[in-house]
Amino acid sequence: MSALYGGVFDPSRGEEAYAAIQAPKTRAVKIIDRDESNQPLRFPSGLTYDSASDEILITCPQKNKLTITTSDYFPYIALGSGRGLRSVGKSFTRNGLIYVCIGHGGPDQRAHIAVFDGALLPVEQFYFPDFPDFSPTDLAVSENGRMYVVGAGVPGVLVLDSKGQYLHTLSPREEVQGKTEEALIQAVDIGSDGRLYFVSEGKGRVYVYDAAEDFLFKFGEKGGEPGKLSRPRAIAVDDARRRIFLVDYQRHTVPVFSIDGQYLYELGGLGTSRGWFHYPMDVELDGQGRLLVADAFNHRVQVIEFIGQPRQDPTAAGESLAAEFALEQAPAPRILTIDSIETSLPEGEVGEFLVLVLLSPDREAAEVVAGDLRRKEFPAFIRSVERTRRGTWHQVFTGPYKTPLQAYNTAEQLRTEEGLPAIVKTLGERTEFRLPSQPATPSPGEAMKTGKTETPDSQPQEKMQH
């Protein structure tokens, strides 16, 4: 068992218990660097996973909008200024609703929490009449609708009921040179058991409360070296792996702690390649257990997969992982993960691989894109799909292709020459494909032929189970 001392973990008590483990092997399986209009992301600063719709929301304050991607990271719609999003902060989803932090926007816009339903229509607005200088930047919502809001102008965490009425303030405190100081809180999260996690950038601390809002313990130490927190700005709690992921903005890393506050390892460091970060701003887990990092100054969101590290039932409280996978962290290999998709092919067509080119609620727009592709000799077709809570959307595909290389080269051509956010899909099981070192882009006609552009290092890898 780990030792607790005075409500905070003391690294001097049981040194072996606090020894960091090696980081598990990871790889960045996807880079999201385009929005729903196929424009570059600019300084993405917030991430939210919506379990109700299995979608990801990306906050882009510079554009005052939330870009929404499908579960396989295809950006297809945005919630923006047309719905009143100005000075937009982070968001949170609960029970089919989207809660968005809105800051002061001049004399005609007071800071508030904006609430939207599954169709992205405004439902409610919650203001802060008791705190006129307060501007929310992050929030979390409990199962019963209680809101925990942090931001500029007020220390601690404001607690609102489900109707937006102010209840009280939770105020983590620290002794500094004999004086008690309230901690400024920058980020919040809620675990699957209702535990509350509050991050203080200034103190380099995480404060943990139970679901009844009683203080449990705190962990973290201010500092600029591995194992310490320089400027932590975000948190994601993974109860299934019993891990806590933070973002250290100043050190360009994602420090990882056990669920009880022991430092384990860190991911990343300053860089522009996959798996490296430049002033990351947020971290989140999606429905596949992958880690998403808002890599702000690289203008992208990285999707990171853990290799060989299982997840558990998050309700198994008190249990730890059966084993740590002490594998070295290595640069991501050039491997493309191809997710499966359910759709029907045009009559008489054969092939396992497709390229998804467009996802739009506008049938006419889909027809225009598909017609343009056909004129350029791409084998394009349209299929409609019901998206959870979003209505009917129309998918534009090219294909089918008999090998992943043909589909990959076509997707690259569509991205570079047509400016389309094309991604490769498979009609079979999710699979992996080792990218060629110098991909050859065939013409649209050649892409349909089998075997013309295959290379020895570009064959499909062993199939992965769902």
pLDDT in tens, 29-73: 899 999 988 889 999 999 999 998 899 999 999 888 999 999 889
Lowest pLDDT segment from 63-67, 250-254, 327-331, 354-358? 327-331
Average pLDDT over residues 330-356: 83
How far apart are the C-alpha atoms of 74 and 56, rounded to whole Å? 9
**Strands of 310-350, DSSP E:** 335-340
Average pLDDT over residues 306-333: 47
Q: Which of these, 388, 368, 392, lies nearest to 380 by C-alpha position?
A: 368
- Tell me the pLDDT of the chain averaged across its residues: 84
Lowest pLDDT segment from 57-66, 319-328, 338-347, 359-368? 319-328
Higher model confidence: residue 297 or residue 14?
Answer: 297
Nearest 5°: CA angle at 51, between 98 and 255?
95
Given this model, what pLDDT does residue 81 score? 73
Token pair belonging to 134: 């307060």
Residue 387: which pLDDT band, with cuts at 50, 70 and 90? Answer: confident
Average pLDDT over residues 98-110: 84
Given this model, what pLDDT does residue 191 score? 95
Higher model confidence: residue 300 or residue 338?
Answer: 300
Say whether pLDDT at 199 is over 70.
yes
Average pLDDT over residues 89-110: 88
**Residue-wise pLDDT tens digits, 403-439:** 999 999 999 899 888 888 888 999 999 888 887 765 4
Higher model confidence: residue 261 or residue 433?
Answer: 261
Say whether pLDDT at 211 is over 80.
yes
Say whether pLDDT at 130 is over 50.
yes
Higher model confidence: residue 252 or residue 457?
Answer: 252
Percent of the chain with pLDDT over 90: 60
Say whether pLDDT at 107 is over 90.
no
Average pLDDT over residues 359-366: 89
Say whether pLDDT at 379 is over 70.
yes
Highest-confidence segment of 33-37, 145-149, 307-311: 145-149
Token pair belonging to 239: 């109860």
Say whether pLDDT at 455 is over 90.
no
Say whether pLDDT at 105 is over 80.
no
Q: Which of these, 29, 26, 17, lies nearest to 328 by C-alpha position?
A: 26
According to DSSP, the β-strands at 232-238 and 88-94 are: unpaired
Given this model, what pLDDT does residue 435 score? 79
Nearest 5°: CA angle at 302, between 300 and 305?
175
Higher model confidence: residue 250 or residue 450?
Answer: 250
Given this model, what pLDDT does residue 444 score? 54
Highest-confidence segment of 172-176, 209-213, 418-422: 209-213
Average pLDDT over residues 224-230: 94
Given this model, what pLDDT does residue 442 score? 53
Higher model confidence: residue 245 or residue 96?
Answer: 245
Say whether pLDDT at 311 is over 70.
no
Given this model, what pLDDT does residue 18 score? 44
pTM of the model: 0.79
Highest-confidence segment of 11-25, 182-196, 301-315, 432-446: 182-196
278: which residues sit within 8 A by CB, 6+ positions away?
252, 270, 271, 272, 295, 296, 297, 298
Mapped onto helix, strand or coil, the DSSP state of residue 154 is coil
**Maximum Cα interatomic distance, the chain, rounded to a whole number of Å:** 79
Say whether pLDDT at 249 is over 50.
yes
Average pLDDT over residues 73-95: 86
253: which residues sit within 8 A by CB, 6+ positions away?
247, 266, 267, 268, 269, 277, 280
180: which residues sit within 8 A by CB, 6+ positions away?
173, 174
Given this model, what pLDDT does residue 328 score? 36
Q: Which helix (H) or strand (E) holds 380?
A: strand 380-387
Say whether pLDDT at 345 is over 80.
yes
Given this model, what pLDDT does residue 361 score? 87
Say whether pLDDT at 329 is over 70.
no
